Structure 1
Amino acid sequence: MVDPIHQAQARAIEDAFAAPAGTFVIRNAVKADAQGVDLGAWVSVVDGTIDAVGTGDADCEARIAHLGGPDRVTTVDAGGMLVTPGYVDIHVHGAWECSFDDGADAISVARAHHMLHGTTRQVLSLITNPLDVMERNLATVRDVMARRPDVLGSHLEGPFLALSRKGAHDPNCLVDPTPERVERLLEAADGTLRQITLAPEREHGMEAIRRFAEAGVVPAVGHCDADYATARRAFDAGARLMTHMFNAMNGLHHREPGPIPAAVEDPRVTIELINDGFHVQNPMVRLGLGFAPHRIAFVTDAMAATGCADGAYKLGALDVNVVDGHARLVSNGAIAGSTLILEVAVRRAVHELGMGLTDAIEAASLTPAKAFGFDRPNKVTGAPLGLVAPGYAADLLLTDPGTLAVQHVWCAGRRVK
């Protein structure tokens, strides 16, 4: 049973999206994004887009006057808080007892939890299921996108995964990416499939990568047993992502390098990393962050137990037990996603791993946006994502500069927290 409070919060966010975007100015802030840090910053927003950014009270007053004066412009005093871009999660399965595979209402509730913690946009990850179920889930995401700017499309994690690296995916549903199956999924998504994780060594794997890339989908190498040479061929065929580096793939070995060095060496590839200290322990996170500067995208891989107490949950049809915030399959103890949010990933990066603030924010905003071309004007989001800069979407966070806890959230110019 979903908490009625969570349902009410989800409805409030949907209501915010139904309202027109207004004109407002955030002032007395510290702007922090991939371009650096500016003190005494202000940001003005018109019709859901940032129209100007500057510093200093005099310029801010002039901007307010240009927009019609204080009687027509809402002003938000940041009180010295950080103003940052909204976070973008490109690999996430749910929250608040809801999975993105479970219908439009479940999507609304799960999105609300992540939104309230600063993730203004998400690509919704769908787990391995029978093909007809996956087709229905793709169609649901497609329909939800029509009324929600925060949903960027879908990510299929499966069904074309290696049995030996299946993780928490149902082995009975894993299949080869034959042309017929690939076309069925593309047709169901109708242009809204953004990413698909697959094992390139499976029969028809390279052919599938080329077809998905041709259709505008970003193939991701992951849940695979691919060696270094196979991974390089996959990237040359059109794969441009690595799904949660270190997890569900061959590890680093001095005589069997595996897929990770292939991704690190290729400047075309964005590399996902789950920065929770559990999927990847801190020494390896630090190592990974140094592999490919500006190409590491923080992802959560968060499942339905995110934002909930420890206990029993489901991942598709599989039973999951969550202890101390860590999710594992009941059947074999395999890690079953996370309970991470990007707000925590950014905080961990800065406070525990010594990553610079702007680099951590970039890994949770601009880098994942770049993976799909959302850092430029595009047909999905319109205005680009990932920076606090003129012309960018007004996806903005006010964040405590000490704790990095998200205090206020705007998505597409609508205030949702």
Structure 2
Amino acid sequence: MSEDSPPGRPPPGLLRRMTERGRGEEHRAATPLELFFDLCFVVAVAQAGRQLVHSLAEGHPGHGIPGYLMMFFAIWWAWVNFTWFSSAYDTDDVLYRVVTLVQIAGVLILAAGIPRAFNDSNFSVVWFGYLVMRLALVSQWLRAAHASHGAERRTALRYATGVCGCQIGWLGVLLLPDHAKPWVFLLMAIVEMAVPALAELGRPTAWHPHHIAERYGLFTIIVLGETVAAATVAIQSAGDEQEALGTLLPIAGGGLLLIFAAYWIYFAVPVHRHLVSNRQAFLWGYGHYLVFGSAAAIGAGLEVAVEETTGKAHISAFAASACVTVPAALFMFSVWLIHSRHHKRGLAQQSVLPFAAVAVLACTFAGGTAVLLVGLVGAVTVALGVTLSAGRQEAGDGGANGRSGGNGRGSEPS
């Protein structure tokens, strides 16, 4: 498809020279293929969330949380690899589409291997899924290198070399003893994240700020959508079996308010204007590991809260509440830290999300009403943000009108 192609760009064909698209390209938007790619990641996110729910509900957070962090990193990093490459080099020709579909197949293999990796520390299927994705990604980088020259070519070759080296390094999670695998995973995660920084030292790739911001926003929506789906299924199942709607309604209402608030908080600022350099973009993009991971964990926490309320979980009400409040607080704080604080002005605006995160954590002690209270905190946080932003905009409009006879532009809302 070519809806996002700039004027004068030829329609998709069998093969097109893989040159950079450029950061200044107008009307750049996510393509249907990218949306399909994101949608397939929902399967992997759901698998990781399901394993986290089982571990937390059985009272094994020491196993469940590290396992979830590892599996979600694998999911998130595979998505990051594709997203930033496609922002710079999406040719939308037949070969590009076929290679992307191969990457999607690798994602589905990865998803199928998550339960085995989570429960038995058997990463063979996950590693093979990564191998499929990585071979496809390396072929794309080599194709970009073939079509370029000079510093651009060296950057593409460094990416291809780094990705290949990392895939070999991941053999450690297959060959080493179980007690060493988490440390190998941590080491390889650090090495993986170093590859883009090192590859782009000489010449950055031409990723598109607006396109990247949109892609991250769309994946946020998909993760929040998975959270809604997981919580809905849990409440439906519990209601069908136990007829406990009276105790489940506060969880349903609070959970829905929380998810609505999470959406509003994330999309309150035009963040693409902050992505003006590789350093800023990398810090922002890497920080989304916390944003995406906590957003998905909220859904798992809501499922655990439902199971505890209906007597299926082997944990206390306090622990079940923490399964919701901790990821919700982490989401609010991480969104403020890497995303929205760049567009906040003044102590009042800057304080809203950090204080909201603390208030959410305090709700852990509320027992059965914790989820409802968290949802209310989220709603109040959004209301405060809107009020403060509107006040700043009115002040800006008034000052501008006073200076320019009513024709000035006010401050941009945040």
Query: What TM-score, normalized to structure 1?
Result: 0.24
Greater fraction of residues in helix: 2
Greater fraction of residues in strand: 1
Q: Which has the higher contact order (CA 8 A, sep 6+)?
A: 1
Answer with 1 or 2: which has the greater Rg. Answer: 2
Query: What TM-score, normalized to structure 2?
Result: 0.24
